[in-house]
Amino acid sequence: MKRREFILKSAGAGLLAGTALSVGRVDKLMASGVYNPELAPGDLPFDLVAIKGGSAADMFDKAIASLGGMTKFVKKNQTVVVKPNIGWDTPPEQAANTNPQLVARIIEHCFRAGAKSVYVFDNTVNEWTRCYKNSGIEDAAKKAGATVVTGKSESHYQAVDIPKGKVLKNAKVHELILQSDVFINVPTLKTHGGTKLSISMKNLMGVVWDRRFWHENNLHQCIADFTTFKKPDLNIVDAFRVLKRNGPRGVSVADVVEMQYQIISPDIVAADAAASKVFGIEPAQLAHVPLATNLGSGVSNLEKLRINRISM
């Protein structure tokens, strides 16, 4: 399939209604060089990719290829940290944690791009060794070549200031986030009692030590505030199995719906806006989305984005 035919087919898939690239816009972007295969490092053909229909690993393969490959984000000899949701002592089928197949495939792409090392961690809610093991993520990550480290040692966290925070003025952040060259955020889309949904921005609570403060002092504003300090280089929302009820941990597989989606974007606000629409609610219903938008952390209006829709 020719490049232009692929783009038009993807744009017409309608995964997020009302935001498809028009034929005229595609032609204009092509004329401006946006789809030039010889893009300069850092330039991307799309702001966001929404893909549906395959396995978690296969969807990522196709989605990252449409952004120009992982080499757009990871360079030779760089250190990468991959931050899934590993917060809960539950099996993959319960969808409280990120799909281990997706985590493994991301790690593989990082190494193919030339990464020197890839680390995986989370500050879990349940006992960390059981979360790592029973989620399937520890085994999958190690087999893919990553180094899996605990997020439950306070000595690994460093105090930082958050100058633009409205409520969250400082935090203790895991040293991997501060020291690594590339930060890849891999949340799972699910319900959450305190924030309606847990997606990309909420997943960042797993990189800080002192998150009780967030819950006790305007949770939504703290979530938005932290995005002004550290935004991931890439956000990959796992919506293959979606926990539709009783989140964030879930009770049983009866709470889970298999939706077979992924949302990928370097814009953390856009990723959450798109994922919320996949779930079936408007982005503004997640209070931290407009708050982060107002802080300049990203774009929540999907109409303003170049979105590639792929149906497998």
Q: What is the DSSP string of 124-137?
A: -SS-HHHHHHHTSH
The pLDDT mean for the chain works out to 89
Q: How many residues does the chain have?
A: 312
Whether residue 54 has pLDDT greater than 60: yes
Is a pLDDT exceeding 90 seen at residue 32?
A: no
pTM of the model: 0.88
**Mean of pLDDT values over 178-191:** 98
Task: Report all structural domains of the chain as residue ranges with CATH numbers, in order of start.
Answer: 45-311 (3.40.50)
pLDDT in tens, 134-180: 999 999 999 999 999 999 999 999 999 999 999 999 999 999 999 99
pLDDT exceeding 70 applies to what percent of the chain?
87
Token pair belonging to 279: 């779930």
Average pLDDT over every residue of 288-303: 98
Residue 211 to residue 82: CA distance in whole angstroms: 20
Q: How far apart are CA 44 and CA 215, in angstroms?
A: 36
For residue 22, the 8-state DSSP code is P
Cβ atoms < 10 Å from Cβ of 71: 15
C-alpha to C-alpha distance for 50 and 236, rounded to whole angstroms: 10
Res 42: pLDDT: 55
Question: Distance between CA atoms of 83 and 93, rounded to whole angstroms?
Answer: 19
* Position 93 pLDDT exceeds 80: yes
DSSP-derived pairing of the beta strands 79-84 and 117-120:
parallel
Least confident span in 18-27, 49-58, 250-259, 282-291: 18-27
Q: Which of 286, 305, 158 is nearest to 223 (CA)?
A: 286
In contact, 268 and 201? CB cutoff 8 Å:
yes
CB 205 within 8 A of CB 227: no
Residue corresponding to tokens 């609570």: 205
Query: Residue 43's pLDDT band (boundaries 50, 70, 90)?
Result: confident
